[in-house]
């Protein structure tokens, strides 16, 4: 097993564990803003996981998916925060 494969496995493990910790924070959190922050972090980690999967497979088709995750994660976080602040997403 080459160094690259070992590093890929390590990074997969790290980001999977990070996803699980964020999922715990989504389920048990002291407030709304913690849950929103954990969901945003899950979207960010998902970008990294998809990129790692693309490296492992040696294909570039997953970059569109990670770009979509970046866009949807940003927009959903802003919409959540706007709803908490104003009660309306689009004023």
Partner 1 sequence: MSILTEILVAALLVTGGVFGLVGAWGLVRLPDMMTRLHGPTKAATLGVGSVLIASMLHFWLHHGILSWHELLITIFVFITSPITGLFIAKAHMHLSWQQGELPRPPSGVEWSTYGEGAENSPIVTVEGPEKPCE
- In this structure, the number of other CB atoms found within 10 A of the CB of residue 52 comes to 19
What's the closest the beta carbon of residue 5 comes to partner 1, in angstroms?
9
Asked if residues 45 and 22 have their Cβ atoms less than 8 Å apart, the reply is yes
Question: With binding defined as CB under 8 A, does residue 34 bind partner 1?
Answer: yes
The footprint of partner 1 (CB under 8 A) covers 2-4, 6-8, 10-15, 17-19, 21-22, 24-25, 30-34, 36-38, 40-41, 44-45, 47-48, 51-52, 54-55, 58, 60, 63-64, 66-67, 70-71, 74, 77-78, 80-88, 91
């Amino acid at each position: 097993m080459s160094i690259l494969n070992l590093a890929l496995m390590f990074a997969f493990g790290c980001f999977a564990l990070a996803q699980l910790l964020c999922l715990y924070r989504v389920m048990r959190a002291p407030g709304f803003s913690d849950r929103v922050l954990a969901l945003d972090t899950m979207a960010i980690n998902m970008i990294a996981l998809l990129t790692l999967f693309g490296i492992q497979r040696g294909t570039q088709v997953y970059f569109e998916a990670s770009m979509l995750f970046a866009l949807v994660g940003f927009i959903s976080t802003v919409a959540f925060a706007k709803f908490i602040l104003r009660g309306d997403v689009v004023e």
